[in-house]
Structure 1
Amino acid sequence: MTADHAPVRGEATGGLFSGTHAPATVSFAAVMFLTGFAALAVVPTLPSAAQDLDGVSLYPLVAGCFVAASLLGGVLGGHWADRAGAHRPLAAGMVLAVVTLLVSAASTSIWHLAAGRFLDGLAGGMVAVSVNAAIGQAYPDRLRPRVLALMSACWVVPSLVGPPLAGLVTEWWSWRAVFFGLAGITVLPAVAVAVVLRGPSWGVVPAPSGEGAPRPALVVATAVSLGAALGQYGVSGWDLRHLLCTAGALVLVTAFASRLLPPGTWRAERGLPATVLLRGLGSGVFFTLEAYVPLLLITERDAPPVVIGLAFTGAAVAWAGSSWVQGRLLERSPRHRLVAAGAIVQAAAVVLAIAGTLPATPAYTAASAMVVAAVGMGMFAPSLTVLSLTHSPPGRQGHASSAMQTTQNLGQIAVLGFSSALFNVFLGGGAADAVGYGAAFGLLLAPCVLAALLAARARSV
């Protein structure tokens, strides 16, 4: 067997837990589990931390800077992976994750906490992109849908137990204990990743001559990340300061975002550009529903907390179950058709959310929208990741993964921002809150329909 056909690159015959792939599979699973646990568990602690640090007015920035920083982390991690192999940014991201949890735990001001969350987002972006790039480098085509389904499943338990457990620790002890505890349990997989991925088989795979990935300057990625952070802050209010931040965000993102993406992304050109664009559309719809449905249930439907908790739990299980089905039972189905099906399922979820704004419908109608949307994402996201790796030549998986991470974050910011703006316009005009929610949800039908129509352009050859 020649070097071009080494087992780690694509012709291995074993399964995910065979001798060839077992160390990487176990390491990746542990990384995704604890990364998901850390990302989800800290969410219930942030309001308490902001209140304790006398920074409630800056809570939108604390909550949004994680997403903005993960955009920058994805770009840095992806290009680092292409230059030096996925093992280095993955190990560095895990080490940084431990450090940032300690920074947040020791916060003495709201800006200190915001800095910790920004660094945590940087680490999270590096880890997420590096794992996808490593999967492209470590597994053959036939195993990629299965390992991606396993990665999605590794988020189920954190989604089930992370937020309520963190809430209990915060209530009974301290929000700082949550951050310190997460730092402690993340040390072991950080060390394991650094050890397992040191082997020579994880070296970088050079890009073919003339096909080197463009490497945007650090200032470009920083500008887009800053624009994303400004956008998150800007849509939280309507005074002059917030409007100026929103305008600055639009300028920065418009000027620099395209440099981080494959040429033709905004035109949905066939192949990787369309695949990258689709990731942003789907993620924007799902995470906007995840933000507004709980708010609707609390403010308009007087739903008990258990209903909201069950909605998050159901969504986590539905996402993992749908991902397992597409990776196991539908692994021979054309990926672009699964993407189109996922977009249609998301549209059905949006319709449920709109129906949930009506007083005549039960509260669980809106709650079920999160679960149905998660079913769509379980089909949508892994299929797009497989397509992105298929469209990427050797040595370019990191570039493709970073582009996917970039549009995922931009999609979340843009779709949520437009929905928030529309919601506030209706409320400012004197409309009932339910009408504002209905308008914000109705806007989500546009990216759903667009994704279903463009799915064929992501088809693999």
Structure 2
Amino acid sequence: MVGPLAAGTLVEVAHWRWVFLIVALFSSVALIGLLRTVRHIPRPAEAHPTAAIGRRGWWAVVAAAALLVLHIGSGQPMPHAAIWPTIGVVALIAVAVRLLPRGTLRGAAGAPRLIGLRGILGAAVAATDVYIPLYLQAEQGVRPAVAGFLVAVGAIGWLIGAIAQGRLESRADPRTLLRYAFILALVGPIGATAVIAGSAPIWLIAVSSIATGAGMGIAYPVVTSTTLQLSPPDQHGFYSSSLQAAESMATSAFLAATGLMLTTLSTNSYTLTYALIVTLAVLAVLLGWRAVDLPRPSPRSGQ
């Protein structure tokens, strides 16, 4: 909730490198705590590693390598900036076919569509938030702390949305909740684009961030719970982890692509980049509009 504001304040009072040092420190502490916790969890007698789990672990390593190629390649001079990201995207798609449930990449009915939806929505919202502070500082001369605050207020909307979803869950149709949630999530990219295009005041970013946060607070629990309802009970772990994997891969790939646009386009780079972000958000809305009323998916993995 305070991450963007804290990062902006650190940039002002210290240096931007401190942000990454602190992230590394807290991540290390979290990892140590996780490993110690997992070590004390008793394993059921019937639990044992399977070949499928082992293969997915190796495919996950390959996916991480593909994302690394994507991000490093996007920062290289042309023509390498076009060649290496293309290789990374192709490799990532090939890996996603093996890591995610069958039909995820083509939006097949049921849980696979919801998993793909989570990836698209997460990528659009993450890209919206990532570049706004950069634009405000580089193009508008806004202080880093203020730029971070305008994005951080979105957490207020997320909190409101999560509370509303919890109260409405037992009475509202999931399809209705998702439709309202995705329309709200679309407000953020549209508001940011309007500000960048010069047709709206800067404060609109804060308002649109709150609206998008509210949409995310509603959408995430609904997508997760509905995915589990539509997935085979004995594969709940696979489907729930696929939600996170799809979002991580989609977000990383989309950030690499939009980052490449910002660095290579000579004019209107922010406007064109946010036009692409809005396009992805609209795709999420269209997919979310019909994502719940779907038949049960096949339990098998692969595309």
- For Structure 1 versus Structure 2, the TM-score category normalised by the shorter chain is 0.7 to 0.9
Aligned equivalents of 2:97, 2:180: Cα separation in 1: 28
Question: Amino acid of the residue matched to residue 444 of structure 1?
Answer: L
Q: 2:243 aligns with which of 396, 404, 409?
A: 404
CA spacing shift, 1:198–1:449, aligned 2, 3 Å: closer
CA spacing shift, 1:367–1:460, aligned 2, 3 Å: farther
CA contact (8 A) 2:5 2:149 kept: no
Shift of 1:411: 1.8
CA spacing shift, 1:296–1:338, aligned 2, 3 Å: same
Q: 2:174 aligns with which of 313, 322, 335?
A: 335
Q: How many residues align?
A: 294
Cα shift readout 1:48-79 (whole Å, capped 9, x = no counterpart): xxxxxxxxxxxxxxxxxxxxxxxxxxxxxxxx
Residue 387 (structure 1) aligns with? 226
Aligned equivalents of 2:51, 2:215: Cα separation in 1: 31
Aligned equivalents of 1:180, 1:252: Cα separation in 2: 28
Shift of 1:458: 5.6
Aligned equivalents of 2:181, 2:35: Cα separation in 1: 37
Aligned equivalents of 2:69, 2:44: Cα separation in 1: 38
Whether 2:95 is the aligned partner of 1:259: answer no
Question: Amino acid of the residue matched to residue 283 of structure 2?
Answer: P
CA contact (8 A) 2:124 2:277 kept: no
Aligned equivalents of 1:421, 1:292: Cα separation in 2: 12
CA contact (8 A) 2:185 2:212 kept: yes
Residue 447 (structure 1) aligns with? 283
Residue 280 (structure 1) aligns with? 119
Q: 2:3 aligns with which of 153, 159, 163?
A: 159
SS in 1 for 2:292: helix
Aligned equivalents of 1:278, 1:175: Cα separation in 2: 31
CA spacing shift, 1:408–1:457, aligned 2, 3 Å: farther
Whether 2:23 is the aligned partner of 1:182: answer no
Q: 1:372 aligns with which of 211, 226, 229?
A: 211
Aligned equivalents of 2:132, 2:21: Cα separation in 1: 29
Aligned equivalents of 1:180, 1:203: Cα separation in 2: 33
Aligned equivalents of 1:175, 1:275: Cα separation in 2: 33
SS in 2 for 1:248: helix
Report the more deviating stretch, 401-410 or 328-337.
328-337
Q: Percent identity?
A: 21
Aligned equivalents of 1:232, 1:264: Cα separation in 2: 26
Question: Amino acid of the residue matched to residue 301 of structure 1?
Answer: Q
Aligned equivalents of 1:396, 1:159: Cα separation in 2: 34
CA contact (8 A) 2:62 2:95 kept: yes
Shift of 1:285: 0.8
SS in 1 for 2:41: coil
> Mapping of 1:181-200 within 5 angstroms?
182=26, 186=30, 189-190=33-34, 193-194=37-38, 198=41
Question: Amino acid of the residue matched to residue 44 of structure 2?
Answer: G
Q: 2:140 aligns with which of 292, 301, 315?
A: 301
Residue 130 (structure 2) aligns with? 291
Aligned equivalents of 2:92, 2:73: Cα separation in 1: 14
Shift of 1:325: 1.7
> Mapping of 1:414-453 within 5 angstroms?
414-423=253-262, 427-428=265-266, 431-433=267-269, 435-453=271-289
Cα shift readout 1:83-108 (whole Å, capped 9, x = no counterpart): xxxxxxxxxxxxxxxxxxxxxxxxxx
Question: Amino acid of the residue matched to residue 400 of structure 1?
Answer: Y
CA contact (8 A) 1:279 1:408 kept: yes
SS in 1 for 2:171: coil
CA contact (8 A) 2:5 2:148 kept: no
TM norm structure 1: 0.54
Aligned equivalents of 2:66, 2:23: Cα separation in 1: 27
Residue 300 (structure 2) aligns with? none
Aligned equivalents of 1:398, 1:350: Cα separation in 2: 32
Cα shift readout 1:28-52 (whole Å, capped 9, x = no counterpart): xxxxxxxxxxxxxxxxxxxxxxxxx
Cα shift readout 1:415-456 (whole Å, capped 9, x = no counterpart): 33443455456x33xx34454355344433442333333423
Greater relative CO (CA pairs within 8 A, separation 6+): 2
Residue 349 (structure 1) aligns with? 188
Aligned equivalents of 1:398, 1:460: Cα separation in 2: 17
SS in 2 for 1:396: helix
CA contact (8 A) 2:109 2:296 kept: no
CA spacing shift, 1:405–1:184, aligned 2, 3 Å: closer
Aligned equivalents of 1:447, 1:387: Cα separation in 2: 20
